[in-house]
């Protein structure tokens, strides 16, 4: 089982794929199409899974992959993957892989931007025509920022933001596709006093900060009614905020056994629930926690586990059109 100190360590190092182990606890069956990444310690990397209604999960792709995102029509999943390559010295970027979960077939878009910028692209635009990408260059930080490419062929690379020597990670598109929310953090992926979450127009104008300084995240979501952006504050607390930065509110997450720590939050297709990685106390007095993908009502109530991970489940995305 996980102890609270390990829970907090995990929630502050999500991008590093840290993964403790614990005993199995039964998951609560859930409905819907939820894809997520599961850490595999033997290779120190993640594989892509999809949750079944009975709470079990099946692997969806044979190679290590991360950052899964459903297409707007709920028929395909895009991930970033190295396709099993050990040496990335010639690309040091990710293939955008588009998967059909119905039969497991897939095709890859070649990495774009090298050697000027390495890109990792799997976040669909609402109309399905583009991907938003994290872009960077370890030797020339002036090139770090958010980039866009066509989803059809991976072409048309264009820059959206300038990270100013830090790192910009796209988090979510606005429902109408006119804006993007992104996280700005230190180059090593950590939060600092200069970190924050921002919104920017798709023409690069009106870039504005929507969180206090020192907050950052690389996975969140924009509600389908356009009113709220959900994200994790470092330390395992889920917050929502309006796109103009007003209305910042913590979402209280509790079970009968106590507080739930969470991250990697996304909205359900109809906007009434949240899906997230969650650490919840076992409730037997041991101080141990179970970890997996969980859902909750938008107000934080009715936390239910979809999976209970043998390692570490994260980066959940709930697919399908709104009901």
Based on the domain organization, do 154 and 75 belong to the same domain?
A: yes
**Residue 196 CB-density burial (10 A; 0-12 exposed, 13-18 middle, 19+ buried):** buried
Domain-located, residue 55? no
Maximum C-alpha span of the chain: 56
Based on the domain organization, do 209 and 231 belong to the same domain?
A: no
Based on the domain organization, do 205 and 235 belong to the same domain?
A: no
Q: List, for residues 148-197, the tens digit of each pLDDT value.
A: 999 999 999 999 999 999 999 999 999 999 999 999 998 666 788 999 99
Based on the domain organization, do 86 and 211 belong to the same domain?
A: yes
Domain-located, residue 305? yes
Based on the domain organization, do 152 and 228 belong to the same domain?
A: no
The reported pLDDT for the residue numbered 55 is: 73
The reported pLDDT for the residue numbered 316 is: 96
Based on the domain organization, do 225 and 208 belong to the same domain?
A: no
Lowest mean pLDDT among 154-163, 223-232, 313-322: 313-322
H or E segment and range at residue 311: none
Based on the domain organization, do 137 and 281 belong to the same domain?
A: no
Based on the domain organization, do 297 and 258 belong to the same domain?
A: yes
Give the total number of structural domains in the chain: 2
Domain-located, residue 106? yes
Task: Using a pLDDT cut of 90, give the percent of the chain over it.
Answer: 71
**What pTM was computed for the model?**
0.88
Based on the domain organization, do 77 and 197 belong to the same domain?
A: yes
Based on the domain organization, do 151 and 231 belong to the same domain?
A: no
End-of-domain residue from the set 169, 187, 215: 215
The reported pLDDT for the residue numbered 49 is: 96
Chain mean position to CA 176? 20
Q: Give residue 192's domain range.
A: 61-215
The reported pLDDT for the residue numbered 285 is: 78
Residue 313: helix, strand or coil by DSSP? strand
The reported pLDDT for the residue numbered 138 is: 85
For residue 74, pLDDT over 50 is answered with yes
Q: List, for residues 123-153, the tens digit of each pLDDT value.
A: 999 999 999 999 998 889 899 999 999 999 9
Domain-located, residue 44? no
Based on the domain organization, do 85 and 132 belong to the same domain?
A: yes
Domain-located, residue 127? yes
The reported pLDDT for the residue numbered 52 is: 77
Domain-located, residue 47? no
Q: Are 64 and 82 in contact (CB under 8 A)?
A: yes
Based on the domain organization, do 182 and 309 belong to the same domain?
A: no
């Amino acid at each position: 089982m996980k102890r609270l100190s390990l829970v907090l360590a995990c929630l502050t190092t999500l991008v590093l794929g840290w993964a403790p182990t614990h005993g199995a606890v039964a998951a609560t069956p859930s409905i819907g199409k939820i894809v997520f990444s599961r850490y595999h310690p033997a290779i120190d990397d993640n594989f892509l899974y999809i949750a079944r209604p009975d709470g079990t999960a099946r692997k969806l792709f044979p190679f290590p992959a991360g950052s899964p995102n459903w297409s707007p029509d709920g028929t395909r999943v895009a991930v970033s993957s190295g396709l099993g390559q050990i040496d990335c010295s010639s690309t040091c970027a990710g293939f955008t892989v588009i998967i059909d979960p119905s039969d497991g077939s897939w095709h890859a878009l070649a990495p774009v931007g090298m050697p000027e910028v390495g890109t990792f692209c799997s976040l669909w635009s609402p109309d399905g025509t583009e991907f938003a990408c994290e872009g960077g260059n370890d030797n020339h930080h002036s090139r770090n920022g958010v980039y866009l490419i066509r989803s059809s062929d991976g072409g048309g690379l264009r820059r959206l933001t300038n990270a100013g020597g830090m790192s910009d990670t796209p988090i979510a598109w606005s429902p109408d596709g006119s804006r993007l929310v992104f996280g700005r953090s230190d180059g090593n992926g950590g939060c600092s006093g200069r970190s924050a979450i921002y919104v920017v127009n798709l023409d690069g104008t009106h870039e504005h900060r929507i969180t206090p300084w020192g907050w950052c995240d690389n996975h969140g979501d924009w509600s389908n009614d356009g009113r709220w952006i959900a994200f994790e504050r470092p330390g395992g607390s889920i917050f929502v905020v309006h796109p103009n930065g007003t209305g910042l509110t913590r979402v209280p997450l509790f079970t009968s056994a106590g507080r739930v720590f969470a991250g990697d939050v996304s909205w359900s297709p109809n906007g009434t629930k949240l899906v997230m990685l969650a650490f919840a106390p076992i409730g037997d007095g041991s101080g141990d926690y179970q970890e997996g993908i969980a859902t909750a009502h938008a107000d934080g109530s009715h936390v239910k586990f979809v999976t209970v991970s043998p390692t570490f489940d994260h980066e959940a995305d709930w697919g399908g059109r709104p009901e």
